[in-house]
């Protein structure tokens, strides 16, 4: 049991409190999305360096004493981590953990979703960038789009809360925006359009490839009429996605406009990489080595808490600062190692 002679909440120098922890459970992936993975042979992190479940659970327990209540599992592709359901079972037992969500590419959902739901998984963000098989191969580097669609269907039938994440890139898939809105209307699932960020491993990012929230709304309104902002969003200012629906109330869409409307001032996220680094921001490269503290230094929980508190105070302002000083350029960080 941790004696909490420490703050009840993590607060940085911009007065932002951390509430949500994203855990990358592996850097490996079964896809090779053009906006994420490096080209050529990828050097995966050595398996000895990856945190085991016991280590993850210890770190999460420590974070709950600093105000963390929500967990998101991510990757790489989290469904590649063997026995993930055992991790979920362990996490759900930690006092003060309210929800466990996962971000996945959906490829292995069909076969794994039953056991994950039974273990206690609450909700899913599923990435889907196209409805065309050939384009799926080009954009995501794998065949069998239908397998992902079947996974979405099955998770939906099981009653999980699902959001679809769609990265729109100019001249790659911006001609499918309307189809994604139709999908949102037909299925009742929220589709969130994400602006392409310079977190690509292959260095293709440039400003021209970013299809902005404004542009997407214009395209959508020309087919479906005015979009209507939903009040529910105001109750959660830290949610990066602004949610909208339509006059006929059918279908909800969201936007994650990280480039044109960065939400850094409301950021309440922190990250744990699969090799045990604590990242206070998506754009932080090295982070702070918690694995070393628990493996080599055998630090006490209180020592780890003190370290985390001090690191978090140094959380950078975020992408908003990079934009201000005109420092957006490709490959600012590797998304598949941090988890998005």
Query: Which of 26, 61, 101, 104: binder of ligand SAM (CB under 6 A)?
Result: 104
**Within 173-202, which residues bind ligand SAM (CB under 6 A)?**
194, 196-197, 199-200
| Cβ closest to ligand SAM, residue 66 vs residue 332 | 332
| Cβ closest to ligand SF4, residue 25 vs residue 36 | 36
Q: Residue 67: which region, alpha, beta or left (left: phi > 0; alpha: psi -120 to 50)? A: left
The two structure tokens encoding residue 180: 């994604």
Cα–Cα distance measured from residue 200 to residue 329, given in angstroms and rounded to the nearest whole number: 10
Handedness of CA 203, 290, 91, 20 (dihedral sign): negative
Residues that bind ligand SF4 (CB under 6 A): 29, 31-33, 36-37, 75-77, 105, 127, 335-336
| Cβ closest to ligand SAM, residue 24 vs residue 61 | 24
Cα–Cα distance measured from residue 210 to residue 262, given in angstroms and rounded to the nearest whole number: 14
Choose the contact partner of 37 out of ligand SF4, ligand SAM, none; CB within 5 to 8 A by kind.
ligand SF4
CB of 180 to ligand SF4, least distance (A): 17
Cα–Cα distance measured from residue 11 to residue 92, given in angstroms and rounded to the nearest whole number: 25
The two structure tokens encoding residue 83: 């026995």
Residue 232: CB partners within 8 Å, gap ≥ 6? 243
Choose the contact partner of 197 out of ligand SF4, ligand SAM, none; CB within 5 to 8 A by kind.
ligand SAM
| Cβ closest to ligand SF4, residue 104 vs residue 242 | 104
Cα–Cα distance measured from residue 188 to residue 198, given in angstroms and rounded to the nearest whole number: 31
Residues that bind ligand SAM (CB under 6 A): 29, 35-36, 74-75, 77, 103-105, 127, 165, 167, 194, 196-197, 199-200, 335-336, 339-340
């Amino acid at each position: 049991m941790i004696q909490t002679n420490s703050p009840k909440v993590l607060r940085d120098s911009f007065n932002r409190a951390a509430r949500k922890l994203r855990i990358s459970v592996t850097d490996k992936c079964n896809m090779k999305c053009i906006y994420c993975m490096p080209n050529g042979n990828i050097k995966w992190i050595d398996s000895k360096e990856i945190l085991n479940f016991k280590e993850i659970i210890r770190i999460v327990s420590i974070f709950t004493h600093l105000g963390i209540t929500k967990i998101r599992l991510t990757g790489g592709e989290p469904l590649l981590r063997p026995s993930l359901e055992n991790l979920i079972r362990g996490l759900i037992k930690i006092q003060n953990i309210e929800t466990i969500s996962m971000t996945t590419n959906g490829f292995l959902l069909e076969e794994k979703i039953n056991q994950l739901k039974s273990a206690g998984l609450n909700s899913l963000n599923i990435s889907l960038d196209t409805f065309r098989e050939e384009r799926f191969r080009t954009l995501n580097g794998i065949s069998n789009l239908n397998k992902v669609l079947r996974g979405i269907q099955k998770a939906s039938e099981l009653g999980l809360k699902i959001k679809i994440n769609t990265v729109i890139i100019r001249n790659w898939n911006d001609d499918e925006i309307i189809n994604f809105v139709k999908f949102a209307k037909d299925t009742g699932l929220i589709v969130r359009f994400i602006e392409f960020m310079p977190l690509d491993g292959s260095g293709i990012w440039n400003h021209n490839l970013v299809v902005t929230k404004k542009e997407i709304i214009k395209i959508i309104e020309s087919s479906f009429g005015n979009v209507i902002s939903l009040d529910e969003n105001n109750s959660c200012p830290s949610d990066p996605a602004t949610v909208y629906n339509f006059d006929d109330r059918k279908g909800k869409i969201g936007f994650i406009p990280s480039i044109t409307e960065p939400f850094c001032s409301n950021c309440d996220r922190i990250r744990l990489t699969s090799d045990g680094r604590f990242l206070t921001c998506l754009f932080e490269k090295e982070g702070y080595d918690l694995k070393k503290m628990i493996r080599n230094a055998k630090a006490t929980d209180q020592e780890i808490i003190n370290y985390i508190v001090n690191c978090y105070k140094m959380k950078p302002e975020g992408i908003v600062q990079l934009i201000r000083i005109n420092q957006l350029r490709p490959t600012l960080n590797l998304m598949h190692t941090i988890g998005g």
